[in-house]
Amino acid sequence: MKSSLASNIHRQLHTMKGVDILVGVPSFNNEKTILGVLKTVDKGLSKYFPDSKSVIMVSDGNSTDSTLDIAFDKFKSKSSEKVCTTYRGFAGKGMALRAIMEAARILKSKVLLLFDADLKSINPEWIRDLGRPLLDGKFDFITPYYVRDYKDGTITNLITYPLTRALYGQRLRQPIGGDFGMRSPLVKYFLDWAYWDNNVSRFGIDIWMTTIAANESFRTGQCFLGVKDHDSRRPDQLGPMFRQVLSTSFKLMERYCHKWEMIKESREVPFVNEPYDVKPPKLAISKDDYFEIYMTSSVNLMKIWKDILKKDTFSALKKATAARVFSATLWTRIVYDFACVYHRWKKDRFKLVGLITPFYYARLDSFLKECEELNVDEAVKRQAEIFEKNKSYLIKNWED
């Protein structure tokens, strides 16, 4: 695979070898938040790692606003060297991270930390809490653990957390959180991986990293980061991201089926720091009738769904459609049915995954209503347990 870094960046990086910590910030049109993120990262490095050699890198996706200009001109680091670049190749977050990983390998950085450029709640302690356990050699890969409004993180709540927990036996609460830490051996493993397709190059990157780390004997941990406040998008704007993430998950299910078929139960993943009580700010996102998005799609797709879903699943779907209530059990069966069909599908797999998207909105509609009666953590936990309980259903149908 061709390098995601321009030749002048290669030359710049080769003058900085022997780095302890590289902090990478993938960006795209983040002019309102990028400076705050960079200043906070710099403060965290100077305060908590004054004796470590560090580099801060912005990997930009050809922003049309002033993001890169701000990073170049307005951010002056007190403790670290700075690299700002537009990555090369396919446009997407995954390619931005690949460029950062390439830089980490050139720099021979011991630790790589990643922070999204749209963060508003980042504080210097995030750098300390993610970085220290990695420098001490206690963990290889650390995922974030946030407190979020129940209308935020819907792809995590509905699919990536319960699927990661059920399949791979690790209760990693935020497998696609965006803010990660890893040691150099894992960075090398990612870069040497042959499978880096269009979905991984876009929003599939986070679940790709988490799934590989969980399955390849790397030591995983969770870091409590408190509240996550960022530029949230409405759930009805997340369709493309949902398809990229789920396509990546289904692809990795094939890679690791020999492992997840043997896993009988999930386990807690250790925290690298101490969680504390905090309440998230409420998101200014209206609770629209997402079931209507599903209903609109169902007019043209119901006959196709009938050919894909198991007979009992389709029967339950018709009842749920009439009642306008989409249970966690039905959602689980649909995800598992599609995973099995994906495994055997010889045509356009991305289009196949697109047929699941309306179900995401139907389940989201019911999930948000459940969260009005339950604590969001309890609602997420119940759903994840249903994914685990129905795993035998998945295994039975996987090779049928």
pLDDT band for position 374 (50/70/90)? Answer: confident
pLDDT at 232 over 90: no
Q: Note whether residue 351 is domain-resident.
A: yes
Mean of pLDDT values over 278-292: 78
Burial state string for 210-241 with b = 16 or more CB within 10 A and e = fewer than 16: bbbbbbeebbbbbbbbbebbbebeebeebeeb
Domain boundary among 268, 298, 323: 268
Q: Note whether residue 394 is domain-resident.
A: yes
Residues 263 and 366 in one domain: no
Residues 73 and 14 in one domain: yes
List pLDDT tens digits, range 288-321. Answer: 689 999 999 999 999 999 999 999 999 999 999 9
Q: Note whether residue 206 is domain-resident.
A: yes
Mean of pLDDT values over 97-118: 98
Residues 338 and 212 in one domain: no
At residue 348, the pLDDT reads 92
Q: Note whether residue 277 is domain-resident.
A: no
Q: What is the DSSP string of 11-47?
A: HHHTTS-S-SEEEEEEESS-TTTHHHHHHHHHHHHHH
Residues 255 and 311 in one domain: no
Residues 14 and 50 in one domain: yes
pLDDT at 223 over 90: yes
Q: Cβ distance 181 to 130 under 8 Å?
A: yes
At residue 237, the pLDDT reads 73
List pLDDT tens digits, range 189-216. Answer: 999 987 789 999 999 999 999 999 999 9
Residues 192 and 336 in one domain: no
CA distance 266 to 210: 15
List pLDDT tens digits, range 22-35. Answer: 999 999 999 999 99
What are the residue ranges of helices labelled H in the chain? 7-13, 34-48, 67-69, 93-107, 124-135, 154-155, 161-168, 184-192, 205-215, 239-255, 257-260, 290-308, 311-323, 328-344, 349-354, 357-373, 376-389, 391-398
Q: Cβ distance 104 to 113 under 8 Å?
A: no
User: Which pair of tokens denotes residue 183?
Assistant: 């040691």
Strands 21-27 and 180-183, bridge-based pairing: unpaired
List pLDDT tens digits, range 323-335. Answer: 999 999 999 999 9
Domain boundary among 213, 233, 268: 268
At residue 79, the pLDDT reads 85
Averaged pLDDT score across all residues of the chain: 95
List pLDDT tens digits, range 332-361. Answer: 999 999 999 999 998 899 999 999 999 999
Domain count, the chain: 2
Residues 263 and 295 in one domain: no
Q: Note whether residue 279 is domain-resident.
A: no
List pLDDT tens digits, range 121-160. Answer: 999 999 999 999 999 999 999 999 999 888 888 999 999 9
pTM above 0.75, yes or no: yes
Residues 264 and 386 in one domain: no
Residues 228 and 361 in one domain: no
Running DSSP on this structure, what letter comes out for residue 118?
T
Percent of the chain with pLDDT over 90: 86
CATH code assigned at 21: 3.90.550.10
pLDDT band for position 285 (50/70/90)? Answer: low
Residues 224 and 97 in one domain: yes
Q: Cβ distance 109 to 55 under 8 Å?
A: yes
Running DSSP on this structure, what letter comes out for residue 119?
B
Q: Note whether residue 2 is domain-resident.
A: no
Q: Note whether residue 282 is domain-resident.
A: no
Percent of the chain with pLDDT over 70: 98
Number of residues written out for the chain: 400
Number of other residues whose CB lies within 10 A of the CB of residue 347: 7
Residues 219 and 320 in one domain: no
Residues 235 and 306 in one domain: no
CA distance 375 to 268: 20
Domain boundary among 201, 234, 268: 268
What range does the domain containing 204 cover?
7-268
pLDDT band for position 287 (50/70/90)? Answer: low
Contacts of 375 (CB under 8 A, 6+ apart): none
Mean of pLDDT values over 232-243: 80
Q: Note whether residue 146 is domain-resident.
A: yes
CA distance 44 to 5: 26
pLDDT at 241 over 90: yes
Running DSSP on this structure, what letter comes out for residue 157?
I
pLDDT at 286 over 70: no
pLDDT band for position 3 (50/70/90)? Answer: very high
Q: Which of 106, 118, 108 is nearest to 6 (CA)?
A: 106
